[in-house]
Amino acid sequence: MKCLAAILVAVVVAAGAVPAPAGAEAPVAPVSGIPTTDLPSRVAVGGEDVLSLDGAWSFRTDPSGAWDTITVPGNWDVHDRYAGHRGKGWYQRSFQATAPADGERARLHFGAVYWDSRVWLNARLLGEHHGGYTPFEFDVADLLADGENVVLVEADNRFDQGAWWPWGGISRSVSLVTTDEVRIDRQEVVATPDLDVGTAAVTSTVLLANDGDADREITVTGALTDPDREEPLPVAGGEPSATVTVPAGGTASAVLTAQVPAGAYELWSTDHPALYRFETTLGTGHAVSERFGIRSIAIDGTSILLNGEPVRLSGYNRVQDDRVSGNTEPTALVRRDLDRMRAAGATMMRLNCVPQATELLDYADEIGLLVVTEVPVWGGDRDITPSGYPSIQAELTEMVHRDYNHPSVFAYSVANEIAAHTSVGREYDRVMSAFVRALDPHRLVTQVSNSYPNVQRPEDDGSNYMDFISINMYGSFTQLADHAHRLWPDRPIFVSEYSPDSFTFPVTREHLDFRTGAAALTPAFADRPWIVGWSQWTFNDYRSDHAGSSPNQVRGWGVVDVWGGRKRAYAQVQAANAPIAGLRLVGGTGESAARVSMAELTPRGTADGDAPAFVLRGYRLAWQATDAAGAVVDGRVIELPEIAPGDDLLRVPVGWADAAGAAVTQQVSLLSPTGHELAVATAAVRAPAAPSVTSVVEATGAVRVRYSAVPGADAYRVTASRGGAVVATDTVEAFADLTGLGDGGPVEVVVAAVNGAGATAAGPVTATPVTGAGALPPRLATVVPVQSGLVLGYSDARAGGSYEVEVADVRTGEEARRYETALRGSTRVDGLAAGREYEVRLRRIEPGGAAGVWSEPLAATTLSPQSVPGLTVHGLIAGSTTAGVRLTPPDGVERYHVRVAGPGRAGRGEFTVERAGVDLLPITGLDPDASYTITVRAETATGLSRPWTAQVRTAAAAASEPSPPSGLSVTDTVLSWDAVDGAAGYLVTRAACGTTATLAVTADTSVVIGPAGRNGGEYTVTSLADGRIGAPSPPLRVDGSQHCTATVTVGDTQPRPDGTVPFAAAGAWSPSSLAGPDGAGSLYSNRVGDSATWTPGLVEAGRYEVQAWFPADANTTTSARYVVQHPGGSSTVTVNQKAQGGAWVPLGTWEFAAGTGSSVVLSAVSAGYTRASSVRFVPAAP
């Protein structure tokens, strides 16, 4: 472990990117981006003919009704006409095929059908299947006809488990698979590393099936390959092989074992998910390649070990739910969500109560996610008596057999929230845990429990049969976690579900302005070393008609909304679950073109008291400055040293140029080896551009204004004023509803884009609330283009009623569709012209028939099979050997194709970046001080974007270190020093108040250090050159007051020598599981009249800004009253704790005397929980 006062990492200046025309394409060689492979986990490479039956199928819900047409895979309830259908649906299609030849067999394979299904081929019943998420197939060799064949599927979605939507239909691909009658049914690859020696044993148990009438002797051979290097994986003793006899109509297994020498492979891990392939070939010609990773999972006491290292990791549950695609899990959606989860700190998680799609697990393998998979046994919805065992065991078998080779799957869960404290539940857990271990003895077994609070002895709950304990918590978090640990003190505890955001779902939880209280729980989990991980419920909002869901049929648990929009909550949990404790930017402002900035990275504490905590290997920082249009002004990719938990502050300087004076925002992010930005910090250079108002809707006493999004804006401040009355709101949405305006005439509406450097307002617009027009229309969330159609998303807090929808052709202005629907949350418009732009708007129809105000229109272009995706690239950033393409992911993107032209081997290559939800595409292996032309294209399901091309120059080799500054002196309020040749800027630090902190990062040779007599401490100046950090100057001591910050928390209850108490509470305050800042506690009260008082002990008199901190939680008051007592009197401040939790909130700035004569009193004065945690007094300029 490194133990440095401050680690200073050098950065080399690189030239900015400039657009350039694409050059002629040259022969290419492999180059590196993010190591990955896009081949699925299982690939047939020989002896297997696959006829896809995906595409258009006939469909109906009335067995005697007319046939409709819908797409397979897909869910019927994404279409308005079937949106509420619970029951049976029938699918039918014909296909051309050739009957199998002698010695061949054919199977009709279904990836999944929800929930109960029956299948016919050519009017013959093949069989039935129960369970909505796992694959099944039927042998159809004797029924398949030469020429036309007809398959009919009956699906029934009436089985309803959990609070999510039971999306009905054929949700995974359908195919006809023809092989030899002796075939590979599956193979189970077990890759076991010897962590001491470095070798690895890779064993494939190949399960063979013989559908013929005679025994067959079969030779089985295996080959291991490294797909990233496109070469064989070295093994000792040559390729493995075996010969077995497969009985007629039976099965047999062949075991192939290979020893991989030390140094020939890499371990699969969350940051470096190395993947290999085991290709198995039969003498009959059938050959299958399976992907696998070499890694070890073990339990050591209360720790889970990944490759011998204890891990404490975070994650999220995710419901398979999308208003456009249901639960079919298209590639773009899966990758977008998992990329964003990974960027928000997800590394270990239980995703949901059902088996996951193969495509999702494939991607989890590629980006380094550890996953618990589970069968749908929730609460009392399944029969967990012995009579119900067979159907559950069938699902377990299908899931384990399908998912056996995924390195991301580290554990199986046999149930969720069953009554495991009863005899029936305990016996179920005993039987099922043993059953799963027999299926796969190489993974861990658990169940997700909420029954553990009901027992006082471990043997009284079924969790006692599990390898680790998974607990769900929605309140009393620390108490419940501690209770589970008392029951099982020698086992790891995994928090499989948690949220403090309550089981009430107002529509405000669906809005992008929603903040969560979940982020505040991370310190409480991290403080308990036996908690090995936590998985928040949930990452996404999801459709539901479960009791208590919002009027939009939504349960708003998520940090993203049902359309994938990131709420304010996303940034909260991203910071809380990052593998570092903090990241911030200092400097970068000034009047000259030459700038210098400093990124300060604070590592996590040691793993026994902080988490997520692990050694960061192969990480980088990505820094850029962007202008008012979002284009890159300058940027870097910076290699980082290995960073271990407990290391000291890491400082990374960046010298850059703002030649045109256009920079608006700086951003720095922690870039993982998998290409995800796990922590993000921004700093404003200038105020953003003004937004443009695009539409205004006028209603009774209210207006809605919609405006363009502005790069560099943190939020938007929207005001409506009439006379001296002002109504205002701050939001991150691209529109604002202003209510309570009355009908007294026109109002002036002003929209301003806001960041840390200021606000820029658009010109005012005039709107007139309309008496008698009715309330504002539903909020429009988005319009999503689909094939020959559009999906409109909206939100309405009012129950009942219906909606009139109008669709107009933008080019002609003609009305294309007008209809009424009672659907909540979304409506789908099918049958429009492909590739044409339409506007959609709607209005509410009240139950009595009265029509409301029309919404503003939203426009989108329908998709066609040849739709070309757009691609918005903001520019290139570069270090010495690594560059990055900064972009905004287009809708529906699945991957990117990158071509590199320039010197060296990397300059004659192209590669694919298998990512969908990232904003930066890394390019590694470049030469220093060299120019490259980079070309990027985005790929969606409908095709490739037009290429984007630009040039970038990598950084030169590092220069020599600059000399330390000299001539330090202080005159009144200014510290100055002599300029140093070759220095791009300077780091100024101040040692005072028991700590050393960055005072300034500047390109100038002087800084203001505060008023004379109140700026005491030791000052040090360090030269920063292009890519180098010099030695610090000798410290300059300045006598005088140090003027320190004073902080009081709810835990500071011990009296001082003078008898005063720092914190005291009066009334019925209760301890909360929601943590305060830096691990401090918090309290809550829901009784009007209760109060809490903070009394600081100020060492020095002076001017201080008073700030309050309280946890974020949806169930919190909007009108907490703070009264600040100061020598000038008392000041009352009302705070919306619901909207402002989780951060320090300024209450105001006043002059204070030294001592304990001042205070802050918080009073509960309204409904909702009032929350108390910490108050601090921060020195302020006079």
Say if residue 30's pLDDT is above 60: no
Q: Each residue of 210-240: pLDDT tens digit? A: 999 999 999 999 999 998 878 899 999 889 9
d(C-alpha 516, C-alpha 1148), whole Å: 25
Predicted confidence at residue 1130, as pLDDT, reads 95
Q: Each residue of 236-277: pLDDT tens digit? A: 988 999 999 999 999 999 999 999 999 999 999 999 999 999
Say if residue 111's pLDDT is above 90: yes
Predicted confidence at residue 26, as pLDDT, reads 31
Predicted confidence at residue 2, as pLDDT, reads 32
Q: How far is CA 200 from the centre of its chain?
A: 33
Q: Each residue of 1012-1026: pLDDT tens digit? A: 677 889 999 999 976
Q: List Cα–Cα distances, 470 to 309, 312, 351, 463, in angstroms.
A: 21, 14, 13, 8
d(C-alpha 584, C-alpha 597), whole Å: 10
Predicted confidence at residue 1029, as pLDDT, reads 86
Q: Each residue of 438-476: pLDDT tens digit? A: 999 999 999 999 999 999 999 999 999 999 999 999 999
Say if residue 900's pLDDT is above 70: yes
Predicted confidence at residue 784, as pLDDT, reads 98
Q: Each residue of 376-417: pLDDT tens digit? A: 999 888 999 999 999 999 999 999 999 999 999 999 999 999
Q: Does residue 1079 come out as left (phi exceeding 0), alpha (psi in the -120 to 50 range) or beta?
A: left
- Summarize the confidence of residues 863-877 as an average pLDDT: 95
Say if residue 25's pLDDT is above 80: no
Q: Delineate the domains of the chain, giving CATH numbers in brackets.
A: 54-172 (2.60.120.260), 182-297 (2.60.40.10), 312-576 (3.20.20.80), 698-773 (2.60.40.10), 788-862 (2.60.40.10), 1046-1179 (2.60.120.260)
DSSP 301-339: TTEEEETTEEE-EEEE------TTTTT---HHHHHHHHH
- Summarize the confidence of residues 544-557 as an average pLDDT: 97
Predicted confidence at residue 39, as pLDDT, reads 80
Say if residue 995's pLDDT is above 90: no
Q: Each residue of 152-192: pLDDT tens digit? A: 999 999 999 889 999 999 999 999 999 999 999 999 999 99
Say if residue 1141's pLDDT is above 90: no
Q: Each residue of 905-942: pLDDT tens digit? A: 767 788 999 999 999 999 999 999 999 999 999 999 99
SS (H, E, C) 56-74: EEEEECCCCCCCEEEEECC
Predicted confidence at residue 3, as pLDDT, reads 34
Structure tokens at 883: 């560059």
Predicted confidence at residue 7, as pLDDT, reads 32
Q: How confident is the model at residue 638 (pLDDT cuts 50, 70, 90)?
A: very high
Tell me which residue of 361, 506, 1164, 1136 sits closest to 796, measured CA to CA.
Answer: 506
DSSP 786-845: EBTEEEEEEE-SS-S-EEEEEEEETTT--EEEEEEE--SSEEEE-SPPTT-EEEEEEEEE
Tell me which residue of 852, 238, 323, 785 sits closest to 541, measured CA to CA.
Answer: 323
Which strands form 1006-1008's sheet, in the order they lie side by side? 969-971, 974-976, 1006-1008
d(C-alpha 1154, C-alpha 1101), whole Å: 4
d(C-alpha 117, C-alpha 137), whole Å: 12
Q: Which residues pair with 445 in a beta bridge?
A: 412
Predicted confidence at residue 13, as pLDDT, reads 32
Structure tokens at 1111: 């946890």
Predicted confidence at residue 1027, as pLDDT, reads 65
> What is the overall mean pLDDT for the chain?
93
Rounded to 5, what percent of the chain is helix, strand, coil?
A: 10, 45, 45
Q: How confident is the model at residue 885 (pLDDT cuts 50, 70, 90)?
A: very high
Q: Each residue of 319-334: pLDDT tens digit? A: 999 999 999 999 999 9
Q: Each residue of 599-611: pLDDT tens digit? A: 999 999 987 889 9
Say if residue 904's pLDDT is above 90: no
Report phi then psi at 44, rounded to 5: -80, 120
Q: How confident is the model at residue 38 (pLDDT cuts 50, 70, 90)?
A: low
Say if residue 5's pLDDT is above 60: no
Predicted confidence at residue 10, as pLDDT, reads 34
Predicted confidence at residue 873, as pLDDT, reads 98
Of 831-840, 1108-1117, 1129-1138, where does the model show the most confidence? Answer: 831-840
Residue, of 1078 and 896, whose pLDDT is higher: 896
Is residue 1103 within 8 A of residue 1181, CB to CB? The reply is yes
- Summarize the confidence of residues 121-138 as an average pLDDT: 98
DSSP 985-1017: EEEEEEEETTEEEEEEEESSSEEE--STTS--E
Say if residue 1075's pLDDT is above 90: no
Q: Which residues pair with 680 in a beta bridge?
A: 669
Residue with tokens 């799963």: 436
Q: List Cα–Cα distances, 468 to 298, 677, 1024, in angstroms.
A: 11, 30, 50
- Summarize the confidence of residues 85-109 as an average pLDDT: 97
Predicted confidence at residue 15, as pLDDT, reads 34
Q: List Cα–Cα distances, 844 to 779, 821, 824, in angstroms.
A: 11, 10, 11
Q: Which residues pair with 413 in a beta bridge?
A: 374, 446
Is residue 443 within 8 A of residue 298, CB to CB? The reply is no
Say if residue 801's pLDDT is above 50: yes
Predicted confidence at residue 37, as pLDDT, reads 57
d(C-alpha 1155, C-alpha 1159), whole Å: 11
The residues, any chain, with a CB within 8 Å of residue 989's CB and separated by 6 or more, are: 996, 997, 998, 999, 1019, 1020, 1022, 1032
| Angle CA 439–242–103, to nearest 5 | 85
